[in-house]
């Protein structure tokens, strides 16, 4: 590790080969906590490059649970977390809407990061298993068009690194890469980040990771989701070409709301919000999900405009199809537990 640490101390960027070697060492039992901390701090102080991020992600995915089947057209709509907005579970709720619109969603998630409850907390409260096997996850993706992947379950070798991150208590490269480490092969992605200055860089990373098309969004109020609060900043990446744009709720026929209107609560409250949205209860939660689902449909290419994507999201909910996706997952989990 010493030569790589020296380069980081000198604020020199690591090549792809060097970063992959460092990443492999991070997984080695012979690597000490202090060495792991030094790498994370060195990268953070220097500033991570797209090549370093992509190289780390590639190694992390190799050490994750081994998904074999290459299903076509799979996307993820996970955000990095860390925006401290205390919002409800926007991306998890939207995932069911996106799947009901005909897009396979492999939703990567975890416990709470910046919300009161994370996606895993809400799913668990709904009765959905968090430890699906590779075969079960692939079956759910094929049969139901949506599966949730609990990060600690699909990345079992990250325990030592997670311990060091908790000890450091500062943002590191791992606060950026969570949504990128999905072990399922993704074709498209809607990625939310709370750091606006990283929009273009993260789009470049997604291109290096082989996404055909993706949108990176930093919401109004620096949320890691598209927001009804005001002007959202976005980057569209398509076949390596990057386009920056902004979007307000009014531009796509939605209502502007203050941040307080989309705040979540404890697990029980967030479960109720999710169910209300999927049952079509109108209001700021509903419109927030329409906006984020519409962006996902546009990112995937199933909608040619964001407005068209929002219309598709409305239909996904109004038809009851989004709620059916949730009910299928609950029934599948119950059958699994009973068997």
Q: Which residues are annotated as a binding site?
A: 79, 82-83, 87, 89-92, 107-115, 119, 165, 224-225
Query: Which residues are known binding-site members for Mg(2+)?
Result: 91, 224-225
Q: Which residue has the tokens 């291109």?
A: 207
Give the relative orientation of helices 306-318 and 90-100 as an angle to the nearest 10 degrees. 80
* 183 contacts 221 by C-beta, under 8 angstroms: no
Query: Which residues are known binding-site members for anthranilate?
Result: 79, 110, 165
Q: How far apart are CA 72 and CA 104, in angstroms?
A: 8
Beta 188-192 vs 241-247: how paired, if at all?
Answer: unpaired
Sheet holding 213-218, edge to edge: 146-150, 104-109, 74-76, 188-192, 213-218, 232-238, 241-247
| Beta-ladder partners of 148 | 107
Which residues, in sequence order, are CB contacts of 96 under 8 Å at separation 6+?
146, 278, 322, 323, 325, 326
The alpha-helical segments, DSSP class H, found in 101-158 are 119-126, 134-143, 151-154
Query: DSSP states of 246-266 as a string?
Result: EE-GGGGT-----GGGGB--S
Query: Which residues are known binding-site members for 5-phospho-alpha-D-ribose 1-diphosphate?
Result: 79, 82-83, 87, 89-92, 107-115, 119
At 314 the three-state DSSP class reads helix
- HSE (side-chain half, CA atoms, 13 Å) at 24: 6
* Per-residue tokens: 99: 């799947």
Q: How far apart are the first and last CA of the chain?
A: 47
């Amino acid at each position: 590790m010493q030569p790589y640490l020296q380069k980081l101390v000198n604020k020199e960027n690591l090549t792809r080969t060097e970063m992959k070697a460092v990443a492999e060492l991070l997984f080695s039992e012979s690597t000490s906590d202090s060495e792991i901390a030094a790498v994370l701090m060195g990268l953070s102080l220097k500033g991570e490059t797209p090549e370093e991020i992509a190289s780390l992600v590639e190694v992390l995915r190799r050490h994750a649970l081994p998904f074999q089947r290459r299903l076509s057209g799979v996307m993820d709509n996970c955000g990095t977390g860390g925006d401290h907005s205390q919002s409800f579970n926007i991306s998890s709720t939207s995932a069911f809407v996106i799947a009901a619109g005909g897009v396979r969603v492999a939703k990567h998630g975890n416990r709470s990061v910046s919300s009161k409850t994370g996606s895993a907390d809400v799913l668990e409260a709904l009765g959905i298993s968090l430890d699906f096997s590779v075969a079960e996850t692939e079956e759910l993706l094929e049969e139901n068009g949506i599966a949730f992947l609990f990060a600690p379950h699909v990345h079992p070798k990250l325990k030592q690194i997670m311990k060091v991150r908790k000890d450091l208590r500062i943002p590191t490269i791992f606060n950026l890469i969570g949504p990128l480490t999905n072990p399922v092969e993704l074709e498209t992605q809607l990625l939310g980040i709370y750091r606006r200055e990283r929009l273009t860089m993260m789009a470049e990373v997604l291109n290096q990771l082989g996404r055909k098309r993706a949108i990176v969004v930093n919401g109004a109020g620096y949320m890691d989701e598209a927001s009804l609060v005001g002007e959202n900043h976005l980057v569209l990446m398509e076949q390596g070409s990057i386009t920056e744009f902004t979007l307000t709720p009014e531009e796509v026929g939605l209502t502007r709301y203050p941040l307080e209107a989309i705040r979540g609560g404890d697990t029980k409250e967030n479960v109720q919000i999710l169910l209300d949205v999927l049952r079509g209860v109108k209001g700021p939660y509903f419109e927030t999900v329409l906006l984020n689902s519409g962006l996902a449909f546009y990112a995937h290419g199933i909608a040619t405009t964001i407005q068209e994507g929002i219309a598709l999201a409305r239909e996904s909910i109004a038809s009851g199809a989004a709620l059916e996706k949730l009910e299928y997952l609950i029934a599948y989990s119950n059958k699994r537990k009973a068997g």
